[in-house]
Amino acid sequence: MKITGVELRRIAMPLVAPFRTSFGTETARDVLLVRVVTPDAEGWGECVAMSEPLYSPEYADGAAEVIRRFLLPALPKNPNVHDIGHALEPIKGHRMAKAALETAILDAQLRAAGEPLAHFLGATHTRVPCGVSVGIMDSIPQLLDAVAGYLDEGYLRIKLKIEPGWDLEPVQAVRERFGDDVLLQVDANAAYTLTDAPRLAHLDAFDLLLIEQPLANDDLIQHAKLAQRLNTPICLDESIESAEHAAAAIALGSCSIINIKPGRIGGYLEARRIHDLCQANGIAVWCGGMLETGLGRAANVALAALPGFTLPGDTSASRRYYATDITEPFELVNGHLDVPTGPGIGVEPIPDVLDEVTTSTEWITL
């Protein structure tokens, strides 16, 4: 497949409400989109890097520079998606940038072949169950109102963001208000240390599905020690950047569940490798989100339709984050999202909407 050119497009997407986690508050997304053009088709990829390096070392400006200066020159002359990982391997890190470029190439290749991404990955479901991520709030009454709204919309699982000072009390309040039947989990985004183990152990009383990434992303050993002190299952997110990291975590006993975020780990081929590894080792997986637009959401939903994804993910409906998405919106139906059936990722940007939110474009001829 010959690539004739690549467009790097930046868009500004305001969120319907501020989204606060232990590492900061987002009110809008500065999104880098990658469009790959070939004689037969074009494909889209969405970079999940934030505008600042707060969640990870990557950030949107840096991802654009890496794609421009290093990734595009490293591509084979006629790239096949299966060759891209090997071709880009000498460039260390920058998995978000690599994922965006690989996804755009994969989308173009599948569109030319008329094959949906879900089929290519090995999906076995036509719809996927959805959970929702609830950010840190200013008060517990505000949190309870937000959770009530999401349950009324039909979300099948609630995830609460936590941090020191906002953990036991909000979890207890949600349990008392909505009962034990609500699927409930928490996400710390690496906000704790092993010295917090006694406090985290109090979460065991609330029958949570899991606690996600309680400790530092680069410390599998400490997570293994914490796992021995909690009854609540530990799920790793930021710690898992590749199938090799997943294998190490499994071998050490650092987790019993893994959150797979394709845009953060290098793309959908690496995501499938982690899925297959976890399935072979009896580790549950679910698909996390990075506040993606409809382009990234479509690809995530296709991945979440694989057989090993046994827990509701953070895919969510479009309106959870955006009043107007750049694609036709994903709508929640009985707690599920339909898996796109069109070729490639199965969706395309709406031109007028895309133009309205575009802040810059750059065309690179190959």
Supply the DSSP string of 51-120, one letter for each residue: SSTTSSS--HHHHHHHIIIIIHHHS-SS--HHHHHHHHTTS-S-HHHHHHHHHHHHHHHHHHHT-BHHHH
Question: What token pair was written down for 285?
Answer: 């997986």
Residue-number span of the structural domain to which 32 is assigned:
5-114+348-365
What's residue 63's pLDDT? Answer: 98
What's residue 241's pLDDT? Answer: 95
Same domain, yes or no: 109 and 125: no
Same domain, yes or no: 154 and 47: no
What's residue 79's pLDDT? Answer: 87
Rounded CA-CA distance 109/7 in Å is: 16
Same domain, yes or no: 323 and 234: yes
Rounded CA-CA distance 315/312 in Å is: 8
Is the CB of residue 11 less than 8 Å from the CB of residue 261?
no
How far is C-alpha 231 from the chain's CA centre?
26
- The number of distinct structural domains making up the chain is 2
**CA angle at residue 238 from 198 to 96, to 5 degrees?**
165
Q: Is 98 a catalytic residue?
A: no
Same domain, yes or no: 110 and 166: no
Helix (H) or strand (E) holding 353: helix 351-357
List all residues 6 or more positions away from 133 whose beta carbon is below 8 Å from its beta carbon: 159, 161, 187, 289, 314, 316
Cα dihedral across residues 333, 238, 272, 71: positive or negative: positive
Question: Does residue 127 form part of some domain?
Answer: yes
What are the helix (H) ranges across 114-196? 117-121, 140-153, 168-178
Domain CATH code at residue 79: 3.30.390.10
Same domain, yes or no: 284 and 226: yes
Same domain, yes or no: 125 and 148: yes
Catalytic residue among 77, 159, 161, 225: 161
Catalytic residue among 2, 92, 98, 261: 261
Question: Does residue 343 form part of some domain?
Answer: no
Q: Could you tell me whether strands 336-338 and 127-129 are parallel, antiparallel, or unpaired per DSSP bridges?
A: antiparallel
What's residue 248's pLDDT? Answer: 98
Helix/strand/coil for 77: coil
Is the CB of residue 359 less than 8 Å from the CB of residue 10?
yes
Same domain, yes or no: 166 and 282: yes
What's residue 4's pLDDT? Answer: 96
What's residue 325's pLDDT? Answer: 97
Phi/psi region, residue 286 (left: phi>0; alpha: psi -120 to 50; beta: rest), is beta
By C-alpha distance, which of 243, 173, 234 is closest to 208? 234
Chain segment 158-177, per-residue pLDDT in tens: 999 999 999 999 999 999 99
Question: What token pair was written down for 131?
Answer: 């959970």
What's residue 25's pLDDT? Answer: 85
Is the CB of residue 10 less than 8 Å from the CB of residue 358?
yes
Domain CATH code at residue 148: 3.20.20.120
Rounded CA-CA distance 194/56 in Å is: 21
Same domain, yes or no: 246 and 300: yes
Is the CB of residue 210 less than 8 Å from the CB of residue 235?
yes
How far is C-alpha 363 from the chain's CA centre?
27
**Residue 363, class by beta-carbon neighbours within 10 Å (0-12 exposed, 13-18 middle, 19+ buried)?**
exposed
What's residue 289's pLDDT? Answer: 92
Same domain, yes or no: 266 and 197: yes
Same domain, yes or no: 56 and 183: no
Dihedral pair phi/psi, residue 227, rounded to 5°: -60, -30
Question: Does residue 150 form part of some domain?
Answer: yes
How large a percentage of the chain has pLDDT more than 70? 100
Helix (H) or strand (E) holding 159: strand 157-161
What DSSP line would sit under 266-304, residue for residue? T-HHHHHHHHHHHHHTT-EEEE---S--HHHHHHHHHHH
Is the CB of residue 49 less than 8 Å from the CB of residue 62?
yes
Same domain, yes or no: 51 and 182: no
Chain segment 189-225, per-residue pLDDT in tens: 999 999 999 999 999 999 999 999 999 999 999 999 9
What are the helix (H) ranges across 161-267? 168-178, 197-201, 220-227, 243-252, 262-265
Mean pLDDT, the chain cut into blocks of 10 residues (366 residues total): 95 92 87 97 97 93 98 92 92 97 97 98 97 96 98 97 97 97 97 97 98 96 97 97 97 98 96 98 96 97 97 94 96 97 98 97 96
Same domain, yes or no: 145 and 202: yes
